[in-house]
């Protein structure tokens, strides 16, 4: 059974001329890393947010969304809360938006564990401090007392990843989760995600504009354009033999660095 399965997913927002998503089919299995790539505005974030029903209330959604075989569109509030707090971890594209500017970041990091999973404050702190450390954040204890405006975008991005992983979700929706990070930190985060996939079958929907990263990290990659999935293949195949002209165009747009010896 798939961890998440989208069937003919169509999303329309009142006022928008055409649907934002048009018949999207996508599947992520347990322990599988599926990349979602495509130009800005193609519908990648909308696809991810629809899985946890975090679209604006003006959005009309049709089609099928199943997580662990359960129909998400038919979920009552309690089941939906459970889905968002235990089953699916979400790393939104704009990390700063996840935080309450009036509260220290520690509140955000331990909130799910303490409120929804009823962990003690001490245990929750210990868990998130360990993950913050793994995500390359120095002096995590002190950082928990800082406010979002005191921290850089890259730090906030790592905090959001640590918070999403703290509850040990089955599925992680990672929307440009490593985009604001330097390559060393990015490699550290990718290593953590790979380990969680290996050790406990974490499934990941990995949204990125970084095609070489998608090729290296993902098992399968889906390419979106104007609200549709135009191609989906095993990562290696997609990059070696793109089927659609659009994918070939995207690949051609990636700058290739010349080798030292090739320079004039
Ligand atoms: N709340 C909204 N109201 C109206 N239109 C929206 C809303 N949210 C998204 N859209 C539109 O839906 C389309 C898809 O947006 P989405 O954010 O999913 O794209 P994306 O592929 O994630 O782009 P990016 O790479 O820039 O993050 C865009 O044309 C966007 O303008
Ligand atoms: Mg987006």
Is residue 263 pLDDT above 60, yes or no?
no
- Written out in words, the top-level CATH class of the domain with range 4-253 is alpha beta
- Six token digits for residue 17: 């001329």
Is residue 61 pLDDT above 60, yes or no?
yes
Closest atom of ligand 1 to 39 CA is 25
Name every protein residue with a CB atom under 6 angstroms from any ligand 1 atom: 13, 16, 20, 38, 40-46, 56, 93
Question: What percent of the chain is modeled with pLDDT above 70?
Answer: 97
Lowest-confidence pick of 88-92, 183-187, 230-234: 183-187
Q: What is the mean pLDDT of the chain?
A: 92
Crossing angle of helices 121-134 and 153-166, in 10° steps, is 130
Q: Which pLDDT does position 260 carry in this prediction?
A: 54
- Please write the tens of the pLDDT for every residue from 3-26: 999 999 999 998 877 899 999 999
Q: Which pLDDT does position 258 carry in this prediction?
A: 59
Closest atom of ligand 1 to 15 CA is 4
Q: What is the three-class DSSP state of 91? A: strand
Closest atom of ligand 1 to 56 CA is 1
CA dihedral 77, 200, 91, 61 (to 10 degrees): -40
Other C-beta atoms within 10 Å of 16: how many? Answer: 11
Q: Which pLDDT does position 264 carry in this prediction?
A: 45
- Strand stretches in 68-164, DSSP E: 70-71, 88-91
Q: Specify the DSSP element, H or E, that contains 231.
A: strand 228-234
Distance from residue 80's CA to the centre of ligand 1 (Å): 23
Q: Which pLDDT does position 14 carry in this prediction?
A: 83
- The residue whose CA has the least distance to atom 8 of ligand 1 is 46
The mean per-residue pLDDT over the stretch 241-247 comes to 91
CA dihedral 138, 140, 144, 149 (to 10 degrees): 10
pTM of the model: 0.92
d(CA 262, CA 264): 6
Residues 151/95, Cβ–Cβ less than 8 Å: no
What are the b/e assignments for 40-51, b being 16+ CB within 10 Å? Answer: eebbbbbbbbbb
Length of the chain: 264
Which residue in this structure is represented by tokens 């030292």? 260
Domain-wise residue ranges, the chain: 4-253
The ligand placed nearest to the CA atom of residue 47 is 1
Q: What is the three-class DSSP state of 230? A: strand
- Please write the tens of the pLDDT for every residue from 171-217: 999 999 998 888 888 998 999 999 999 998 999 999 998 888 998 99
* Of 58, 48, 57, 54, the residue nearest 9 (C-alpha): 48
């Amino acid at each position: 059974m798939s961890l998440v399965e989208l069937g003919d997913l169509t999303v329309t927002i009142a006022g928008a001329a055409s649907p934002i998503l048009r018949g999207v089919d996508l599947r992520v299995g347990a322990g599988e890393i599926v990349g979602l790539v495509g130009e800005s505005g193609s519908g990648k974030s909308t696809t991810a947010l629809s899985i946890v029903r975090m679209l604006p209330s003006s959005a009309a959604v049709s089609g099928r969304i199943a997580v662990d075989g359960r129909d998400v569109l038919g979920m009552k509030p309690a089941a939906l809360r459970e889905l968002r707090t235990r089953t699916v971890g979400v790393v939104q594209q704009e990390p700063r938006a996840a935080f309450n500017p009036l509260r220290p970041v520690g509140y955000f990091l331990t909130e799910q564990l303490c409120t929804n999973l009823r962990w003690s404050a001490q245990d929750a702190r210990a868990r998130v401090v360990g993950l913050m450390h793994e995500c390359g954040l120095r002096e995590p204890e002190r950082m928990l007392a800082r406010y979002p405006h005191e921290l850089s975008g890259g730090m906030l991005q790592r905090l959001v990843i640590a918070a999403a992983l703290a509850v040990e979700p089955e599925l992680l929706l990672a929307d440009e989760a490593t985009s604001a990070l330097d390559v060393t930190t990015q490699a550290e985060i990718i290593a953590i995600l790979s380990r969680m996939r290996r050790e406990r079958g974490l499934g990941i929907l990995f949204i990125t504009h970084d095609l070489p990263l998608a090729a290296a990290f993902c098992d399968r990659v889906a390419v979106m354009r104007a609200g549709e999935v135009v191609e989906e293949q095993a990562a290696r195949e997609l990059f070696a033999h793109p089927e659609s002209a659009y994918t070939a165009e995207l690949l051609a747009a990636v700058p290739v660095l010349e080798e030292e010896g090739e320079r004039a």
